Structure 1
Amino acid sequence: MDISARPDAIDLEQPFAAIPDLIKHWAKHRPDHRALIQGERSLSFAQLDAHMNRVAAAVQRDGMKPGDVLAICALNSIEYATVFLGALRAGVAVAPLAPSASAESLLTMLADASPHLLFIDEHAAQHLAPVAARLPCPALRLDQTANGLSAWLCDTAPQPVAIQPDWAFNIIYSSGTTGEPKGIVQSHAMRWAHVRRSAGYGYGENAVTLISTPLYSNTTLVAFLPTVALGSTVVLMSKFEAGEYLRLAQQHGVTHTMLVPVQYQRIMSRDDFDQYDLSRFRYKMCTSAPFNAALKADVLARWPGGLIDTYGMTEGGGTCILAAHEYPDKLHTVGKPAERHDIRVIDDEGNELSKGAIGEIVGHSPAMMTGYLNKPEKTAEAEWFDPSGKRFIRTGDVGRFDDEGFLTLLDRKKDMIISGGFNLYPSDLEAILREHPAIADVAVVGVASARWGETPVAFVVRTAGATESSEALLDWFNGRVGKTQRLARLELTDELPRSAIGKVLKRELRDRYLEMHGILD
């Protein structure tokens, strides 16, 4: 059922609506409908709304005001979600932190965000134990009842807060793999824009979204938040495992999901994939990392429902959307700019390039970050303005538009290899390597070379049972490309290092190679 046709519908054309207010709306109109499910536990919209009130009241009791910050470092849970949403109701911004980050990196993020309070679970508590004495704020446990969350909650009603569009909604920290993590400040207006955009993807009365990526990631929030804001159900996984994912999808009649490419790869490679009933799926989403065309085609062929590949940044700016089920001949692209999104390509001097030219991608949209917290110079570096003064966010990605307006990504600008004066795009080399049946996964990086400045090296994960040697695979590849594209080395590895949302950590691969082999001749 189209949500705009329901008697309890929200007005998606209004200039702004705050997500906590939308949840209150559903608590009134759909009080018994399940909002959150985790394992055997669940919360209805009425229960979720009541929990959010208790959190908001406790936040206010502790003296936190709109604009203050509360941090969470934990695995996905119902408690995590209620604290996040409840803090928002009080106008407090949330800094969701990655438990996978090093303890020292987490201390850096906490010092930058200056939260009044930090919520942690058992996993994060153990991780932070060596630096517990250096935490800049009190830490409370989400998963203990004696003196943790349940004792902290307040039973009085919170004071109403009129949330403003430009207030900070959350502060999401970049991975920090290329330097000090940066706090990306996103506004309530940006999140409302995500809700409006998502309303066109079949979220309705009986929608069920399965969440298996972490709540500290924007990848997850762009699916989680619209689901609850539009009165639908979220099923939470604390940790992804392909078999359990499929079991839950079948059990709950899941209709929507957000996955990263490596998760699709692991799901589709299961021998028992076709035994699960996934017929309720309406849309499957993907973002955060390159999604190769062959894998998209496999998902389209064997998994019911539409497939949406979304390209964008946590910082906001432009988003491209590929409805893969509608454009099966464009699977090598990330689609066209979303409605009201302006995406352009510029050269190194900041000049706009014509269609077909290769350059850095910049974007403008209704959903853009306010800036990097406490880093005005980094914010300025991330911005580009056209001659009219219109503000764009620089992506750091290199790509080009084809004649039909579809965007093809080549690589991160920093990952482009300049070898002997020639520009090499690792994605081009990786696409050729993936054609070999013995190669399951691959990443190509540029390493220092005394002769060429940089030279390409491939890290390859072989398919199960494959016995081809690195030398044989190297010879196979180099026999198929021109002299300037040839690999200097091909290293076999059991797995590629990835972030929690599936991005290959190429800096780690470069460092690993230099540590083992040094600079090539």
Structure 2
Amino acid sequence: MTTIADMLAADHGVMGDILRARAAEAPDRPAVVMETGESVTYAQFDALADRVAAALQRDAVQPGEAIAVCALSSIPYAAVFLGGLRAGVAVAPIAPSSTPEAIAGMVADCGAKLFFLDAGVAEAQKPAPIAVRSVALDGSSAGEAFDAWLAPEGATPASVKIGPEHPFNIIYSSGTTGTPKGIVQSHGMRWRHVYRGDAIGYGPEAVSVLSTPLYSNTTLVCFFPTLAGGGTVVLMKKFDAGRYLELAQKHRMTHTMLVPVQYRRLMERPDFDSYDLSSTHLKFCTSAPFAAELKREVLERWPGGLVEYFGMTEGGGTCILMAHEHPDKLHTVGQPAPGHDIRLIDEDGVQVGPGVVGEIVGRSGATMNGYHGRPDKTAEAIWTSPEGWTFIRTGDVGRFDEDGFLTLMDRKKDMIISGGFNIYPSDLEAVLVLHPAVLEAAVVGVPSPEWGETPVAFVALKPGQAADPAEIKTFVNGQVGKTQRLADVVIVDSLPRSHIGKVLKRELRDSWQKSPTK
């Protein structure tokens, strides 16, 4: 008889099968809990996923075809995701914060047979209506009511054979650098995230509080391992620092995934230390640069380990920093994960050695199938090594130290070339935040008739602080090389960010160029 331990130790597994096994093992254990208190047990969640899968098969959605989901996190959302997987269907989770035109474009691009949404998305989508049959997860008038669409209670789907190469989900890039691309992740790729779960404590006693959205890969790398391990997922629709702390304390949270800006907001709360977070086993972070000083503060004030992942939704290679084990390496993103080959290449595609800056490329068993319907873009994302192996190009620039830890410099596209010299915005941003009035900063390159490009800084000030842009500029330029000097400093209320906390530098460049005082 195959045990759950055997299933999790296998080279390949299927999330739908693991969910069914967990439901048989502990039917009354909570699987998904909403911040409002609504919850489903493993038995209920498994049955709901069955009804979703049976309804998809009833509607002739074939294995390998896609469905799209665009809504805030909820139990029906999670059930649609798991039910779609059980039916062999690729799930395309889409960010509600996208423009109506972008949502319509992504639904069309993935060829979705059904579109699952909520009232908020339906209202925002009016300028670009979706032609695909819609189902309202919240029972609103946004589409056919979810409960009415579901197959009857007790329905079970026909068994579907799912191989490691079959599409699991299609996650769209944020579109911050152009048209979103559909990243096709396979069941085999996702299994790599589940496979390592036991080693980091994803067992039946695990409780993961997740405030990042279900349409983000950031969330899914914790969501699925928690369920595969038989633990409980606590979902928030939107992040609120106070509410997050209440939930973490109430549910005796063991695991969580947060982006850097969320860690900063939590650390800024005057009442942070009054919450009992002693149950925390591991905290994770990914998706955006994580300042060394912020990591240090989290380690000092929050029990449990701190793990930073550096990688891409496209996969390829991942670096892991066990910050609690390497407090002297907090300025890095760690070392390549076991079985991951991370290398650096120069502008000509030639590999460079330790201490030399280069573009980061990676290779592992966790790699996307490709960009959906975009073989040209897939080809652009690949670097082939001298051995003939294919690596995914990250577009990030970094440097390995003598111990094999990787320090990130910048996105390659964000590197500024001024008068023939390379300027890394992160170097300037590190100096900017040393100013006593500066909370956070972003540096972008703008056109310069004299130098080709020149750096401009956008800074947000600490609450209650005031500073003159010229004074900040003098502060920085007195500490950097001549070629790095800032041309301008702009004070803003806050830096524009994506839903996972990445600073939208393109918006900053555009705003500077449109400014009448530039």
TM interval, short-chain normalised: over 0.9
Does residue 24 in structure 1 map to residue 20 in structure 2?
yes
- Report the counterpart of residue 5 of structure 2 in structure 1: 9
Residue 139 of structure 1: which of 123, 126, 134 is its match? 134
1:111/1:136 contact within 8 Å kept: no
TM-score of the superposed pair, with normalisation by structure 1: 0.97
- Report the counterpart of residue 4 of structure 1 in structure 2: none
Letter in 2 for 1:28: A
Does residue 458 in structure 1 map to residue 460 in structure 2?
no
Stretch of structure 1 that moved more, 465-474 or 370-379: 465-474
Cα displacement (A) at 1:10 = 4.3
Stretch of structure 1 that moved more, 73-82 or 196-205: 196-205
Identity %: 58
Other structure's SS at 1:451 match: coil
Residue 105 of structure 2: which of 105, 108, 116 is its match? 108
Cα displacement (A) at 1:145 = 6.9
- Report the counterpart of residue 3 of structure 1 in structure 2: none
Cα displacement (A) at 1:36 = 0.2
Alpha-carbon distance in structure 1 between the residues aligned to 2:412 and 2:4: 47
Cα displacement (A) at 1:177 = 1.5
5 Å matches for 1:194-273?
Answer: 194-273=193-272
- Report the counterpart of residue 43 of structure 1 in structure 2: 40
Letter in 2 for 1:40: G
Other structure's SS at 1:264 match: helix
Aligned positions, number: 511
Structure 1 unaligned spans of 5+: 1-6
Letter in 2 for 1:141: A
Alpha-carbon distance in structure 1 between the residues aligned to 2:203 and 2:76: 25
Cα displacement (A) at 1:198 = 2.8
Cα displacement (A) at 1:352 = 0.9
1:145/1:151 contact within 8 Å kept: no
Alpha-carbon distance in structure 1 between the residues aligned to 2:39 and 2:127: 34
Alpha-carbon distance in structure 1 between the residues aligned to 2:88 and 2:374: 23
Alpha-carbon distance in structure 2 between the residues aligned to 1:8 and 1:65: 28
After superposition, what is the alpha-carbon deviation per residue over 1:356-388, rounded to whole angstroms, capped at 9, x for unaligned? 111100000110000000100000000011122
Distance 1:345 1:8, change over 3 A: closer
- Report the counterpart of residue 168 of structure 1 in structure 2: 167
What is the RMSD computed on CA atoms of the aligned residues?
1.2
Cα displacement (A) at 1:516 = 0.3
After superposition, what is the alpha-carbon deviation per residue over 1:266-323, rounded to whole angstroms, capped at 9, x for unaligned? 0100011001000000000000000010000000000000000100000000000000
Cα displacement (A) at 1:421 = 1.1
Moved over 6 A (4+): none
After superposition, what is the alpha-carbon deviation per residue over 1:329-355, rounded to whole angstroms, capped at 9, x for unaligned? 000000000010000001111111111
After superposition, what is the alpha-carbon deviation per residue over 1:445-478, rounded to whole angstroms, capped at 9, x for unaligned? 0111111111111100000111121122111111
Alpha-carbon distance in structure 1 between the residues aligned to 2:449 and 2:218: 40
After superposition, what is the alpha-carbon deviation per residue over 1:142-182, rounded to whole angstroms, capped at 9, x for unaligned? 00178410000002221111211110000000111111110
5 Å matches for 1:285-364?
Answer: 285-364=284-363
Alpha-carbon distance in structure 2 between the residues aligned to 1:223 and 1:237: 14
Cα displacement (A) at 1:58 = 0.1
Alpha-carbon distance in structure 1 between the residues aligned to 2:77 and 2:6: 26
Letter in 1 for 2:42: F
Alpha-carbon distance in structure 1 between the residues aligned to 2:131 and 2:231: 37
Letter in 2 for 1:24: R
2:206/2:232 contact within 8 Å kept: yes
Other structure's SS at 1:131 match: coil
Alpha-carbon distance in structure 2 between the residues aligned to 1:19 and 1:118: 22
Alpha-carbon distance in structure 2 between the residues aligned to 1:10 and 1:283: 25
Cα displacement (A) at 1:479 = 1.5
Alpha-carbon distance in structure 2 between the residues aligned to 1:449 and 1:375: 35
Does residue 446 in structure 1 map to residue 445 in structure 2?
yes
Structure 2 unaligned spans of 5+: none
2:256/2:284 contact within 8 Å kept: yes
Alpha-carbon distance in structure 1 between the residues aligned to 2:131 and 2:163: 28
Stretch of structure 1 that moved more, 192-201 or 330-339: 192-201
Alpha-carbon distance in structure 2 between the residues aligned to 1:199 and 1:407: 26
Cα displacement (A) at 1:13 = 2.7
Cα displacement (A) at 1:203 = 1.3
5 Å matches for 1:48-87?
Answer: 48-87=45-84
TM-score of the superposed pair, with normalisation by structure 2: 0.97
